[in-house]
């Protein structure tokens, strides 16, 4: 049943639709995970129904199922080998386009897909913009084997890291530890503020039990921010430009949605 979008979802939908303008006929496109990315997947489905040809690599089983349901051609990253573009959401982005991702638990595949892409476009509502990363808990994907040792090693790194808080929580779902698409665990690090994201990312990834962390440094090229009043900001890291536009507010998808993610 179509329902009116909340202001937050309207902002996400506006950013998602505008980001699809970067998709050209014949492109290989990485599809992100999360509620903002779901708006993008649905819109891409409409564009494909209107004749656009794209090959898509989803970053999660959830996004893959949605992509197939809206008629997108889905292949694995190994089949695609490289991608022209990835469009994904984020939990936070800073002025240098460093990101925290993984709120939806898909950070590992999201980072692999982003790294295999010529360009990464992040779609966001204004609440995702921060001065300094870290208010959102940093997700760290870790193997289940030896998880307590991995936690202890993370705590040791945090003890001397430039952060405000140092609590580590095992992510749960339905009273059981959350399992990623790779069957791993997620540890959420409440840090408050991350002084040196690049350094922390390297340190965390040196722990044997850590598979990947949700700090995305030097991966994002463009940020598209949608606002509930229809404003759109296009921020391009390469040339430092910020372009402001207005969305067509009478577009049905900018007012109604079937559902979020």
Write out the binding residues for substrate. Answer: 33-36, 88-91, 101-104, 128
110 or 212: whose CB is closer to ligand 5RP?
Answer: 110
Stretch that binds ligand 5RP, among 26-34, 144-152, 171-179, 227-235 (CB under 6 A): 26-34
Stretch that binds ligand 5RP, among 18-26, 61-69, 104-112, 175-183 (CB under 6 A): 104-112
Under rule CB under 6 A, residue 32 binds ligand 5RP: yes
Give the pairing type, strands 167-170 and 172-173.
unpaired
Are the CB atoms for 101 and 90 separated by under 8 Å?
A: yes
18 or 101: whose CB is closer to ligand 5RP?
Answer: 101
Q: Identify the active-site residue in 24, 79, 92, 110.
A: 110
The 210-213 sheet, strands edge to edge: 167-170, 185-190, 138-142, 210-213
40 or 153: whose CB is closer to ligand 5RP?
Answer: 40
Under rule CB under 6 A, residue 9 binds ligand 5RP: no
Under rule CB under 6 A, residue 36 binds ligand 5RP: yes
Are the CB atoms for 233 and 225 separated by under 8 Å?
A: yes
Under rule CB under 6 A, residue 188 binds ligand 5RP: no
Q: Which of 30, 34, 137, 226 binds ligand 5RP (CB under 6 A)?
A: 34
Query: Of the candidates 69, 62, 155, which has an alpha carbon nearest to the alpha carbon of residue 105?
Result: 62
Site string for ligand 5RP, 51-90 (x = CB under 6 A): -------------------------------------xxx
Query: Of the candidates 99, 91, 132, which has an alpha carbon nearest to the alpha carbon of residue 219?
Result: 99
Is 156 an active-site residue? no
Give the pairing type, strands 117-124 and 222-226.
parallel
**Across the strands, what pairs with 244?**
233
The per-residue b/e assignment along 226-240, b for 16 or more CB within 10 angstroms, e otherwise, is: bbbeeebbbbeeeee
35 or 150: whose CB is closer to ligand 5RP?
Answer: 35
**Across the strands, what pairs with 85?**
29, 119
Q: 3-class DSSP state for residue 111?
A: helix
* Sole residue written with tokens 């040791």: 156
Residues that bind ligand 5RP (CB under 6 A): 32-37, 88-91, 101-107, 110, 261
Annotated catalytic residues are 110
């Amino acid at each position: 049943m179509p329902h009116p979008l909340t202001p937050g979802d309207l902002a996400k939908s506006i950013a998602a639709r505008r980001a699809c303008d970067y998709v050209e006929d014949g492109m290989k496109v990485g599809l992100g995970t999360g509620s903002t990315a779901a708006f993008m997947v649905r819109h891409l489905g409409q564009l494909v129904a209107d004749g656009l040809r794209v090959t898509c690599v989803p970053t999660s089983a959830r996004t893959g199922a949605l992509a197939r349901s809206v008629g997108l051609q889905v292949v694995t990253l190994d089949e695609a080998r490289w991608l022209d573009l990835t469009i994904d959401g984020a939990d936070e982005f800073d002025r240098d386009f460093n990101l925290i991702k993984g709120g939806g638990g898909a950070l590992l595949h999201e980072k692999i897909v982003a790294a295999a892409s010529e360009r990464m476009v992040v779609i966001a509502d204004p609440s995702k913009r921060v001065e300094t990363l870290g208010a959102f808990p940093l997700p760290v994907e870790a193997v289940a084997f030896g998880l307590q040792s991995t936690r202890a090693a993370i705590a040791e790194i945090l003890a001397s890291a430039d952060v405000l808080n140092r609590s580590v929580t095992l992510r749960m779902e339905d009273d059981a530890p959350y399992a990623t698409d790779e069957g791993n665990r997620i540890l959420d690090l409440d840090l408050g503020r991350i002084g040196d994201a690049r350094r922390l990312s390297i340190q965390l990834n040196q722990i044997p039990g850590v598979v990947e962390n949700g700090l995305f440094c030097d991966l994002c090229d463009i940020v598209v921010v949608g606002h509930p009043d229809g404003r759109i900001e296009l921020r391009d890291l390469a040339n430092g430009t910020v372009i402001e536009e207005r969305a067509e507010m009478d577009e049905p998808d900018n007012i109604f949605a079937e559902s979020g993610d």
